[in-house]
């Protein structure tokens, strides 16, 4: 068998669990800059669209702004046995 075996590591003081890798952090930074620039253009873009297209875009963007609805069910049944 090669290496230290399953669940063990050659570097016990390695990257902490949950730490994003460097490429992921860099990509998020690049995408954030791109999206910020595009969002600045959004009001002018919406002004230039027909009402039905404008409504479609706004509806598609709503899930990113509003909290998601969580369905709750209140069907509680309590049985008493004698």
Other CB atoms within 10 Å distance of the CB of residue 46: 13
pLDDT the model gives residue 45? 93
What is the torsion angle, in degrees rounded to the nearest 10, for the CA atoms of residue 13, residue 19, residue 23 and residue 25? -140
pLDDT at 2 over 80: no
Q: How far apart are CA 43 and CA 48, in angstroms?
A: 9
Rounded CA-CA distance 63/10 in Å is 44
Helix (H/G/I), strand (E/B), else coil: 1? coil
Inform me whether the pLDDT recorded for 29 exceeds 80: yes
Q: For 11-15, 32-36, 47-51, 64-68, which range has the lowest pLDDT when averaged over its residues?
A: 11-15
Question: What pLDDT sits at residue 47?
Answer: 95
Q: Answer yes or no: is pLDDT of 48 > 80.
A: yes
């Amino acid at each position: 068998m090669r290496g230290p075996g399953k669940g063990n590591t050659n570097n016990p003081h390695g990257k902490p669990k949950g730490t994003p890798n460097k490429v992921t952090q860099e990509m998020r930074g690049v995408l954030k800059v791109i999206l910020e620039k595009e969002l600045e253009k959004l009001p002018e873009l919406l002004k230039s669209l027909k009402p039905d297209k404008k409504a479609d875009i706004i509806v598609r963007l709503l899930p990113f702004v509003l909290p998601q609805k969580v369905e709750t069910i209140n069907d509680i049944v309590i049985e008493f046995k004698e």
